[in-house]
Structure 1
Amino acid sequence: MPTAPHPATGAAAKRSPGRRGRLLTVGAGAAGLAVLLSACSGGGSDDGKGGSGTQAAAPARAEISVNLKGRQAAAGKPVTVTLAKGGLKEVSVTAAKGAALTGKVSSDGRTWTSKRVAAPGTAYQVKATTKEGGSATAAFTTAAAAKVNKLTLAPGKGTTVGVGQPLSIVFDNPVTDKADVERALKVSTSNDTVGSWGWIKDYSGRDRIDWRPKDYWRSGTQVRLKADLNGIDSGGGFFVRDYDTNFTIGAAQIVKVDLATKKLRLERDGKVVNTVPMSAGTPGGDKRSWGGTTVLMAKEGTIRMNSETVGLGDAYDKMVDHSMRLTWSGMYAHAAPWNAAYFGNANRSSGCIGMSDSNASWLYGQVRAGDPFEVTGPGHKGVPDAGNGYGAWNLSWAKWQDLSALD
């Protein structure tokens, strides 16, 4: 058998160029293997002078668990993130739209709990970092609300109102978890006004909560409400948004109606501006006026008044000018030229406070929503309920505070 040429000889290289290419390929692979072995040997040290050493170990992945999971997680609950081992450094829980839930780490460093609850129909991303340098992520989506509760706020945002105007919220659906809802309502004022929430029934029969000061507002007070309701289950449906509104208290005006003298007096900053004759509700029956304190709800201008809508049969049906609403049940101050013979002499209206055209026009131009009308004297039918307009001022401060759902 012939002897094969030695691979190192030049003659063999010249006679078999294909063989030479395969030898070079093998040589390159051997060099790569040597580098790999060297890198894994661990024999060197990195002294900052170019020597090879061990690579820094990647941070350990943290292991967390989140109380809400999957794509139909229960809304209305705080989010809790628990670390299996070590200590939490920072946790973020962010909704798809960018809103974040803030929270606090427990004293043992293992659990983070959000201050607010998870909103319905919302996708959340969770990221946690640990004191040891680890990190972890998670995600969940809450189920959509089966029923949504909405609300109506008064007064309107950015408005200027009178010193008797409460901050009033009427809910579309019942509120059974009143304490949870009330805790989410934060009132702040420019002068630390003392006040309280009170739960009442609106004249419509719906649940309502009003915030009134202990005494009439001070003129110039700036008031703000932040209602962090998104995600709270009212018992009659979830809230799916927050609310933020503000208003300003205008001049200190009070309208004083004296049923005994049949006169109406406007006071501003404690001084009498003007006194005009009027005729109020007829004593002794259903046509009596309300007494106590009512609050101007709205200036409605010229409106149609029909006695049948307030349970008085067919006594009247007419267009009435300079109408100023005082209760939901239909008590107004307005122009009543048909009663001119009674102004200053007798109370002969169907329950409203009537004046001449000129006096009603004057008063209409002076007052604003939120101004109190204080009705005194004999012959009225008592005071309206707190929900019949803004009748909260007919309750003592102590009794009003008792209507709060919080201690």
Structure 2
Amino acid sequence: MSRIRVLAHARLRAAVVAALLVPLAACSSSTSAGSPATEVTPSPDDRPVTVTVTPAGRKAPAGEPIRVTAAGGSLTSVTVTDAEGHRLAGRVAADGRSWVSDRKAVPGTAYTVTAATRSSGGTARSTRADVTTAAADKVNKVDWRPGAGATVGIAQPISLVFDHPVRNRAEVEKQLRITTSNGTEGSWGWIRDWSGRDRVDWRPRTYWKPGTEVRLNAELNGTDSGAGGGWFVRDYATAFTVGDRQIVKVDLDRHRLSLVRDGRTVRRIPVSGGTPGGDKRSWRGTAVLMAKEGTINMNSETVGLGDAYDKMVDHSMRLTWSGMYAHAAPWNARHLGRANRSSGCIGMSDADAAWFYARVRPGDPFEITGQDTKGVVEPGNGFGAWNLSWTEWQQRSALR
């Protein structure tokens, strides 16, 4: 081949290669100095996911769950933490479009919401939002019994007394969870405490089975009491165990107290109850031993009986808020087992009271009978719920 033809063929190949390279350079995002960049429109499938958090803002309303929704993609995970690092648990819906917290947002709390998302095209991103709830203008608190770790008698209820009125009773009751080691049946009932405050008690259908382990979880944090009662800003919990099956039977007509354990009478004790025919009579029905208070001062003025007595009393065991006790009453020795001559309490000798005091525990039922009494112990006067039938008690639940 001649040199001329070789050169001509080489020039032709170079021209073809140059022609093929021109369109490839036009599709590149690279630019030379001074020339504008080519704008690339993302695929609709790769656009960022729109995340919405409610409630929102710096004074967001409390008392509702935090909700996170996604549009244009899905949520893969959501984390909500407060300023102390406590996590607000929740779950993503099956379709990945929403997340709802298990608990309500608490008043006066700053939350950080972090949502991991995936677009329709598979691109993963993360979105953050800050939410601060408005502070509570009023706080409601709870006094509860029994205390954690206690061993109680078979009639012990779980009792919550509130500082302020509770109007959203159903909402509050939903947050109260009782678990037992043997599936004990029971119910909450709303009553008026002797102090005049709102109160809710949980009692079994029948007396507890000995050995039952009981736990209360009152997840009230973030719940509104309603009608100016204030917000709950903490949770409450207690756990206790039920002890031996002990029943104290008090027969005021026979002036006798019997301690019955597991169906067997352990001891009979002569007693003197409240004086018949007036304000000094005892109560009847089922009272529950509230507390063993030991040696205390008893003053008749505190229970509306004027100056009838003012003395130190040993082995005192409280049965009602209105002032009925079982205790030592040596000053009434000649009436023990013979007549009712006390100011409403159940009195016994020093020796019998010491023996009895050492063997009973809070939560033991006192089943009191007698013809001449003030009447039946009210549900809120101590732990008088046992004087209502099971049906009557169930009807006091706000969820019935």
TM-score category, normalised to shorter length? 0.7 to 0.9
What do residues 299-343 of structure 1 show as CA deviations (whole Å, max 9, x unaligned)? 111111111111111111111111100000000001111111111
- Tell me the TM-score normalized by structure 1: 0.84
Report if the CA contact (8 A) 1:148-1:240 is conserved.
Answer: yes
CA distance in structure 2 between the aligned counterparts of 1:196 and 1:168, rounded to whole angstroms: 12
Number of the residue aligned with 1:292: 285
> Share of identical aligned residues, percent?
64
CA distance in structure 1 between the aligned counterparts of 2:51 and 2:74, rounded to whole angstroms: 11
CA distance in structure 1 between the aligned counterparts of 2:175 and 2:127, rounded to whole angstroms: 31
CA distance in structure 2 between the aligned counterparts of 1:61 and 1:399, rounded to whole angstroms: 58
What do residues 144-165 of structure 1 show as CA deviations (whole Å, max 9, x unaligned)? 1111111111011111111111
Number of the residue aligned with 1:47: none
Number of the residue aligned with 1:221: 212
Number of the residue aligned with 1:345: 338
Report if the CA contact (8 A) 1:221-1:249 is conserved.
Answer: yes
| Structure 1, 64-73 or 103-112: larger mean CA deviation | 103-112
Number of the residue aligned with 1:198: 189
CA distance in structure 2 between the aligned counterparts of 1:137 and 1:227, rounded to whole angstroms: 31
Structure 1 counterpart of 2:180, which letter? T
SS at match of 1:254: strand
Report if the CA contact (8 A) 1:120-1:142 is conserved.
Answer: yes
Question: 1:289 Cα deviation (Å)?
Answer: 0.3
Task: Call closer, same or farther: CA 1:358–1:59 in 2, change over 3 Å.
Answer: farther
Map 1:70-81; keep pairs closer than 5 Å: 70-81=57-68
**Does residue 212 of structure 1 match 2:203?**
yes
Taking only aligned residues, the RMSD between alpha carbons, in angstroms, comes to 2.1
**Does residue 188 of structure 1 match 2:175?**
no
CA distance in structure 1 between the aligned counterparts of 2:219 and 2:86, rounded to whole angstroms: 13
| Structure 1, 98-107 or 84-93: larger mean CA deviation | 98-107
What do residues 23-52 of structure 1 show as CA deviations (whole Å, max 9, x unaligned)? xxxxxxxxxxxxxx98x8379xxxxxxxxx
Report if the CA contact (8 A) 1:62-1:129 is conserved.
Answer: no
Structure 2 counterpart of 1:206, which letter? R
Task: Call closer, same or farther: CA 1:270–1:59 in 2, change over 3 Å.
Answer: farther
**Does residue 152 of structure 1 match 2:139?**
no
Number of the residue aligned with 2:129: 138
CA distance in structure 1 between the aligned counterparts of 2:49 and 2:126, rounded to whole angstroms: 5
Report if the CA contact (8 A) 1:62-1:135 is conserved.
Answer: no
Structure 1 counterpart of 2:167, which letter? T
CA distance in structure 2 between the aligned counterparts of 1:59 and 1:341, rounded to whole angstroms: 95
Report if the CA contact (8 A) 1:296-1:372 is conserved.
Answer: yes
CA distance in structure 2 between the aligned counterparts of 1:276 and 1:149, rounded to whole angstroms: 45
> Which of these two proteins has the greater Rg computed from alpha carbons?
1
**74, 88, 99: which is aligned to 1:112?**
99
Question: 1:358 Cα deviation (Å)?
Answer: 0.5
> Where in structure 2 are there 5+ consecutive unaligned residues?
1-23, 31-42
Number of the residue aligned with 1:320: 313
Structure 2 counterpart of 1:172, which letter? D
Report if the CA contact (8 A) 1:227-1:244 is conserved.
Answer: yes
CA distance in structure 1 between the aligned counterparts of 2:375 and 2:211, rounded to whole angstroms: 32
SS at match of 1:324: strand
Report if the CA contact (8 A) 1:278-1:354 is conserved.
Answer: yes
CA distance in structure 1 between the aligned counterparts of 2:291 and 2:309, rounded to whole angstroms: 22
CA distance in structure 2 between the aligned counterparts of 1:155 and 1:278, rounded to whole angstroms: 29
CA distance in structure 2 between the aligned counterparts of 1:166 and 1:360, rounded to whole angstroms: 25
SS at match of 2:58: coil
Map 1:230-249; keep pairs closer than 5 Å: 230-235=221-226, 236-249=229-242
**318, 323, 327: which is aligned to 1:330?**
323
Number of the residue aligned with 1:282: 275
**Does residue 121 of structure 1 match 2:121?**
no
Give the ranges of 4+ consecutive aligned residues of structure 1 lying more than 4 Å apart after TM superposition: 57-60
Map 1:319-398; keep pairs closer than 5 Å: 319-398=312-391
Question: 1:245 Cα deviation (Å)?
Answer: 1.2
Question: 1:193 Cα deviation (Å)?
Answer: 0.5
- Tell me the TM-score normalized by structure 2: 0.86
SS at match of 1:134: strand
Question: 1:112 Cα deviation (Å)?
Answer: 2.0
